[in-house]
Amino acid sequence: MYKKSIVYMGLVLLCSGCISVRMGDIQVEEDFKLDGPTATGFIHLSTEVDGEVRPGMVYVPAGYNHDTAYPLIVFLHGLGESGDNGMAQTTSGLGNAIRKNPERFNCLVYFPQSPSRQWWSAVDGRVTAPNSFEHITDGIERVLDLYHVDEDRVSLTGLSMGGYGTFAYGAKHADRFSAFMPVCGGGDVEAAVELARRPMWVFHGEADGVISVDKSKQMVDATRKAGGAVKFTTYPGVGHNSWDKAYSADQKAIEWLLEQRRQ
């Protein structure tokens, strides 16, 4: 039995021996165990660290069966989707790809949300949200408790600010993940030794005027030098929005991410 706070928006959750219905943005606390049919789609899932609650969301695929172990993708959004509404982080990148092609995502996806205009990881001149990594970890643990996850297929991806976050959080928690997929990000080359422990596929637009493609190239080169298996895809003529190509247009990328297993 698992006890936690979840925000439901017009969803019906079928639990063991009960049905909970909540309409609107209402905070509820329930004891439940997902051992039967459950709500699917995008479902609010909050985290709490040192008394601070932050919104997040989990995507549950149609036909979810608790008897089956599902891969889990952790997605870190960009700066434009930061805030406190618990929804914006699903409106760009991976969330849009799921809505366009749900058949490609027979998996769980966790979408944490960073506070408004605050970065996931320390980057020069940027405001970093305190305890961001702790909130990500708390959210992952809650998903693992609530759903049946194949813990050898938990991967990490993110775009722009979330690309930086993928390099940084992935390096600190490489034991957790099966693979990394940073999109139009950058990072600290000193993290390459840890990143090299897992396969990685990096994407970036060659005409990116917000975050130079050189930022990804530096991380790719350092990780390869450290012995990592890294795929690097660049898109000629593409600016900062390389995520639509990576997540939606390139079907092989998500297939690759879901195929990776922790060794």
Position 21 scores a pLDDT of 31
Position 194 scores a pLDDT of 97
Domains of the chain, start order: 40-259 (3.40.50.1820)
Summarised one tens digit per residue, pLDDT across range 3-21 is 343 433 333 343 332 323 3
CA distance 82 to 118: 7
Q: Any alpha helices (H) in 18-160, and if so which ranges? A: 94-100, 132-146
Lowest-confidence pick of 22-36, 186-200, 242-256: 22-36
Summarised one tens digit per residue, pLDDT across range 19-70 is 233 334 434 344 334 444 478 999 999 999 999 999 999 999 999 999 999 9
Q: What is the pTM of this model?
A: 0.85
Closest CA to 173 of 154, 190, 186: 154
Radius of gyration of the chain from Cα atoms? 18
Summarised one tens digit per residue, pLDDT across range 127-145 is 677 789 999 999 999 999 9
